[in-house]
Structures are given as C-alpha cells and as structure tokens.
Structure 1
Amino acid sequence: MTRAFDLIAFDWDGTLIDSTALISSSLQRAAADVELPVPSQEDAQHVIGLGLMQALAWLFPQQSEARYQALLGRYRYHFLTRDSEITLFAGVTELLPALRAQGYKLAVATGKARQGLDRALAQTGLQAYFDATRCADETASKPDPQMLLELMDELEVAPQRVLMIGDTTHDLQLAANAGAAAVAVSCGAHPLEQLQREPHLAMLPDVSALPEWLACYP
C-alpha cells in the first residue's frame, strides 16, 4: 500500500475523546469558585488544546501565582470528579488498530498534562496503539512546534510525512509551524469558521471519516 504519510499524530481532547463540554464547564466553575469573572463558553472552549497554565493565563491575565494555583486546584477538582464519564468519539476504538494494521505510526500531541493523559489512556485502554506521546507540561505548549518536532525525531519521520489531526486552531497552527500537514475535525472545541482560516488539507466531521479520506488522498 502506498501511503502519503508515515506518522499520524492526534490531539486528544475534542478529537479522540468527547471532553469539550466538561473542560469548558470546569474552567467556568473554577473561576466562580475563586471569585473571578466567569469566562464565556466560547472563551473557555478557545483555550482547549493549550497547556493548562497557558489556558489560565489567557483567560485570566495578570493574576498572582497564588490565584493561578487556586484556579488550577479548583479546575482539577471539577474535572476529575466527572472525567470517568467522558466517552471516546464513535469509531475511535476501530480506527486506531486499523491504522496500525496499515503500517502507520501513531502518536498523541496534547495540551493535557502527562498525569492526565496517562490516566485517560489507561481508562480508555488505548495505550498500546500509540508509538509515542507528548504533553504540554513536558515540552512547549501548542502552537509552538516543539512537541510535534520531538515526536518526529523520536519516531524518525520527516515533517512532510506527518499528518496532524485536531479540533482546534492550536492543532492546525502546530502542524504548520512544524512543517507538517493537518486535517481538522469539526466535532470539538473550535467552530468551523475558525478552523477554516488555518492551513489544513481537509475538514472532517470526526475521526471516523479519516480512513476514507486517507484512501483517496492525494
């Protein structure tokens, strides 16, 4: 089989797992808990995909370190009390082994912290399908290209052979900054009109449509 790509890197939240609503509501509840202005749903969803501290700094600029730590604690409380309720998007459990069987290397490039991603991988049973993962607390946050460049280096794949799949403009900018291609999915945090303004090869409703697109590309 002739493939245009050797490595497919997935974002996690809003791309593989349907967590957008919980993340945004947890950010809003955290703000209320520490008596800061509650961000709109649009703003809370905009920061999904960034590292958590970067997200808090964007939503609540110029706070003290103590206030950021309080926000972080309340966010984690609200998220962790319900994260076991989050479900994978339809088709994910079939998609990943099928891609591995076709010879693709698979990776995760996420704004989650390492502890959070490892917990999510264990809960979903998806650990075995990924050759490598990178999180925002162990490298630069999106859209800095560092996490994707590190994955390329670890898995020995050139940028032109890498495809990033994500639901936010941060994911698409990450790919562009790393010299890789990207496919957007419209099932997650950022609205379609924002995604369309960033470089991408295709816009899919969700990741279950990826195999058919790959079969027809280029």
Structure 2
Amino acid sequence: MAEAAPDILVVFDCDGTLVDSQHNVVACMRLAFESLSMPVPEDLAIRRTIGLNPDTAVRHLAGVTLDDIQLENIVSGYKNAFFKRRLLPDHHEPLFPGVKETLSALAARKAAMAVATGKSLRGLNAVINQHGLHDYFTSLQTPDHNPGKPHPQMLERAMMEAGTSPERTFMIGDTTFDIMLAKNAGCRGIGVTWGYHDADELTESGAERLIDRVEDLLDIIDTA
C-alpha cells in the first residue's frame, strides 16, 4: 500500500531563519561591488535584501540602473566570493539555537518539510551538508529553477512535491518577502523575530503569527 501523503507541510526560509549568514552575505556583497569599483552599499541595506534572489538584491542595492553585463558581473562576483569563502577554514554559517531539535520534533510528528530560499542550490546544499540536515527536507526550492520571492512558484512546487494543500502549508521566514510569498501562494505565513526584518514589518506584511524561538513553532503545528 502506498504511504499516505503528509497532512502538514512546513517550509523554511534559510538565511535569517535556519542559519545566521548575515556576516558572510554582507562581506561577499561588499566585495562584489568593490571589485567593479562601484559604490559599496551600506551593511544595513545589504542585510535588508537577504532573502531575495541575488540579481534582485543587486538591483535594489546599486542605486543606479544597471545594464545586463553590469548586473551579471556583480552577481557573479557575489556568488564567486561566497564559494571561495566557504572553502576557508574559519567559514561558518551557524544554525540558530533550537533549529535542529525542532526539525527532529517535526519529523517525529510526520510533518513534511521543505526549504524555499533566495540562496542558490549550491549554497543551500552547502548548509545542509555542514549541519547534517539531509534527512529532513522533501523539497529544496531555490532561484536556480524558480522566480524569486514573493512569486508563489517555490511554494507551489513544494506543495506539489509533498502532496499538501495551501491551507495546511506553513511558510516560516524572517522577512516580508517570506510572508508575501506565503500570501501569494495562499499559505500560512509565520514570522520569526530573530532574523533580518523587524516584528512590525512582518505583522504589517500579513504574518499570521510571530515566534521568538523556533521551538514555538511546535505549538502552532500541534494545534493546526
């Protein structure tokens, strides 16, 4: 007999939700602009774009209209800088406290889990390998084969692969881009307060709930 589809799908953003990557993102984005002798965005501005596809983030940060070649050069510079940074002995993108324990608890509850992120698939796999998260996620949705947030396609694909419905799908993220993604896909958006956009912004963008600890997600799932 075929195994029944899971009743609930929990989809996580990566940067700012599962892992604290802001220092690496900021350093690599600064280096990408510096390498082309372009004005370097402020650190806060870079942190505000974490979660977007790199090309969308670069357009936001440039402050001027970029042609296709300039855009490609900056995005490539950012990706290459990140790839090289991962090879350094001191490279670290730590999980936020309680993340792995919560993933294990959700797995024990037979909830399906996925990731929808602005990170490249290569970068996401690096995080998964670093922290031993291979067994948790049934779907990995990245900009490699999807439009960026808040376009709903990443969530639509995750739901299709898991066999779940929008009303039983939770998008967990730290930015307004994540909450808008949930709204656009008809799913339930849960904002986390330890990431890169503040609580008021998450609420105003339509978050159903806010959580201050990742473990608080279990109560939401248990009562869904």
Q: Structure 2 length as normaliser, TM-score?
A: 0.88
Aligned runs of 1:173-184 on 2, under 5 Å? 173-184=180-191
Residue equivalent to 2:82: 79
> Residue 68 of structure 1 aligns to which amino acid in structure 2?
L
Q: Give the SS at the match of 2:204.
A: coil
After TM superposition, give the deviation of residue 56 of structure 1 in Å. 1.2
Deviations 1:153-172 (A, max 9, x none): 12111110100100000000
- The answer to whether 1:171 aligns with 2:174 is no
Q: Give the stretch that moved more between structures: 73-82 or 63-72.
A: 73-82
Q: 1:48 aligns with which of 40, 50, 62?
A: 50
> Residue 38 of structure 2 aligns to which amino acid in structure 1?
L
Deviations 1:102-128 (A, max 9, x none): 010000011111121122211211021
Q: 8 Å contact 1:20–1:188 — kept in the other structure?
A: no
Aligned runs of 1:80-119 on 2, under 5 Å? 80-83=83-86, 84-119=91-126
Deviations 1:128-163 (A, max 9, x none): 111111101211110000110111112111110100
After TM superposition, give the deviation of residue 40 of structure 1 in Å. 2.1
Residue equivalent to 1:128: 135
**Identity across matched positions, percent:** 34
- The answer to whether 1:70 aligns with 2:73 is yes
Q: Give the SS at the match of 2:201.
A: helix
Cα 1:41–1:146 change in 2 (3 A) is: same
Residue equivalent to 2:148: 141
Q: Give the SS at the match of 1:85.
A: coil
Residue equivalent to 2:3: none
User: What is the number of residues matched between the two proteins?
Assistant: 213
Q: 8 Å contact 1:108–1:130 — kept in the other structure?
A: yes
Distance 2:120 2:79 in 1: 11
- The answer to whether 1:189 aligns with 2:191 is no
Q: 8 Å contact 1:51–1:137 — kept in the other structure?
A: no
Residue equivalent to 1:153: 160
Distance 2:135 2:107 in 1: 10
Q: 8 Å contact 2:93–2:127 — kept in the other structure?
A: no
Q: 1:39 aligns with which of 41, 51, 61?
A: 41
Distance 1:95 1:188 in 2: 17
Distance 1:199 1:148 in 2: 17
Q: 8 Å contact 1:14–1:188 — kept in the other structure?
A: yes
Q: Give the stretch that moved more between structures: 30-39 or 94-103.
A: 30-39
Distance 1:205 1:167 in 2: 11
Q: 8 Å contact 2:114–2:140 — kept in the other structure?
A: yes
Which ranges in structure 1 are unaligned for 5 or more consecutive residues? none
Q: Structure 1 length as normaliser, TM-score?
A: 0.90
Distance 1:187 1:107 in 2: 20
Which ranges in structure 2 are unaligned for 5 or more consecutive residues? 1-6
Q: 8 Å contact 2:32–2:81 — kept in the other structure?
A: yes
Q: Give the stretch that moved more between structures: 31-40 or 61-70.
A: 61-70
After TM superposition, give the deviation of residue 20 of structure 1 in Å. 2.0
